[in-house]
Chain A
């Protein structure tokens, strides 16, 4: 199909009614985009704040709930020094796979799951903050 061969069809296509952009199309579009941008920023901020609040709440809750159940006597330096292999001085956590039901097991290890989740949350929040700071500084540089 060379250009010459297409000539009549091309002329016909050019001749089809030309519809101009509706008046104010670009202004309406820009207003819609700005509104969308503001909404996204708001959502982002809300997500960020709720993430931080949830992470802190988890940490506080885990600390308040489980800290009293641990035996921290190992840090009691008022006691006489004991032999290094005295296992009774380590925190009372059963590291062996317990012969209990799944639910009980879940309950026993709940603190570690929560602490793990909280750590992951903090790591994510940290990455997010760093990324935001990096992008903002890049935009400023430009």
Chain B
């Protein structure tokens, strides 16, 4: 977060474009990373990132300041990217619910505690196989280092739902790196 963010936002609402440029410079890489990880396409991601910033500029006077600016910004980016993936109907991997339910906390802890190169490489490949919403959550929580409460605010869900989704993602990652018997299904 920028130190004088509130002042910068006031300046922008008065039409100061140079200040908007400063704000954009600070956050554009983060926004782009989130978008590109959700849509998995560089060209689409650039267009979407531009649309996000246009939307931010237009809606800035309506920003109430109840949440942090970055949370509000990431929420716009998340919604734009998720809408895009819905339109594109990407092929996602679907796992058997019974197998997911069978994964216990002990196995998850074991997976997360294993810092071997093999495990991390397998996890990296597995993250890329997740659904767009799940990749977004992993990016926000593990890459951006945002708390589950912030992730919930960005994705527009309750904190409880986000916790459940994150738990499910961890289980899915475990299945992806251990079983390798997922089914490719188009949704």
Report A's interface with B, CB cutoff 8 A. Answer: 1, 4-16, 18-22, 25-26, 28-30, 32-34, 36-37, 135, 138-139, 142
Contacts and interface: CB of A to CB of B under 8 A. Distances in A.
B123 A9 contact: yes
A32 B56 CA distance: 13
Contacts, number: 102
Contacts of B14: 135, 138-139, 142
Contacts of B17: 30, 33-34, 37
B81 interface: no
Given A8-B112, A28-B50, A32-B50, A22 B42 contact: yes
Interface stretch (B24-32, B72-80, B85-93): B24-32
Contacts of A22: 42, 46
Given A21-B28, A33-B54, A37-B15, 7 more contacts: A5-B112, A8-B113, A11-B120, A19-B42, A22-B46, A30-B17, A36-B57
A18 B113 CA distance: 24
Contacts of A32: 50, 54
Interface residues of B, number: 44
B56 to A, nearest CB: 10
B53 interface: yes
Nearest to A20: B29
A15 B124 contact: yes
Nearest to B122: A12
Contact of A8 (B36, B42, B123): B123
A22 to B, nearest CB: 5
